[in-house]
């Protein structure tokens, strides 16, 4: 299937992904987008090449006496499944969920354990380490997400359907970046459900009273 992706990852996110400095929640969104987007996958490989060249030119550093043992200890502590998800993701072939995301869900869309959060919207919070969180969202066509701003960065990847807000229209494969300067009310396009993968650094800041009351219970 050909995807007409109009909204891509910013360079800062790709560099952070290549350097391994992003929280796991954002790593997952980046890996999922890269599996769908030829352009961003090519840019990622370019950043990898630059990083490798810089390492080749770097001065040699002295190693401590226990460096080898410390390396083995790190290897023993690696979570193999998470490490696989962080490798260069292959291009998507079929289904709704990209390969990096399927390893977290345990399958495709039919394996997701959805929970209602109100207004017909459902979510599935995925298990990741760190303070940032990541969740799948299912928004029925024509439904709007309550007006909100942010306490940090938010990155949303559309997997199916589409939504629109003041920044434009976002369809399958598109990524929207938002921060504490952005207040928006995403509205799912009429028709099929809008399925999104969203990573956030901190809880959202809702304008309405009811969403604020439900926020702690729903972990949004």
Torsion angle (degrees, nearest 10) of CA 102, 108, 113, 114: 110
Q: What phi, psi does 88 have (nearest 5°)? A: -55, 115
pTM, rounded to two decimals:
0.78
Domains by residue range for the chain, with CATH: 11-104 (1.10.10), 106-218 (2.60.120.10)
What tokens were used for 88?
A: 């260069």
Question: pLDDT 10s per residue in the chain (220 long)?
Answer: 446 899 999 999 999 999 999 999 999 999 999 999 999 999 999 998 865 554 555 566 676 777 777 777 777 766 655 555 555 555 555 689 999 999 899 999 999 999 998 888 999 999 999 999 999 999 999 998 877 777 889 999 999 999 999 999 999 999 999 888 888 889 999 999 999 999 998 876 666 655 555 555 555 6
Burial of 35 (0-12, 13-18, 19+ CB in 10 A): buried
What tokens were used for 217?
A: 């219970």
């Amino acid at each position: 299937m050909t995807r007409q992706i109009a909204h891509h990852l910013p360079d800062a996110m790709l560099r952070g992904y290549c350097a391994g400095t992003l929280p796991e929640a954002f790593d997952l969104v980046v890996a999922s987008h890269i599996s769908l987007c030829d352009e961003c996958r090519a840019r990622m490989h370019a950043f990898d090449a630059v990083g490798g060249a810089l390492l080749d030119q770097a001065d040699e550093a002295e190693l401590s006496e226990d460096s080898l043992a410390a390396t083995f200890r790190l290897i023993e502590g690696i979570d193999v499944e998470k490490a696989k998800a962080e490798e260069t993701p292959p291009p998507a072939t079929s289904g709704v969920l990209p390969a990096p995301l399927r390893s977290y869900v345990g399958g495709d869309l039919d394996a997701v354990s959805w929970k209602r959060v109100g207004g017909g919207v459902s979510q599935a919070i995925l298990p990741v380490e760190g303070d940032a969180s990541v969740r799948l969202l299912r928004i029925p066509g024509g439904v709007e997400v309550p007006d909100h701003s942010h306490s940090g960065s938010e990155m949303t990847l559309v997997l199916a359907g589409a939504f629109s807000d003041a920044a434009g229209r976002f369809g399958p494969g598109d990524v929207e970046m938002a921060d504490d300067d952005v207040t928006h009310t995403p509205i799912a396009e009429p028709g099929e459900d809008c399925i999104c993968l969203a990573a956030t650094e901190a809880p959202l800041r809702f304008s309405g009273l009811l969403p604020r009351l439900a926020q702690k219970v729903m972990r949004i």
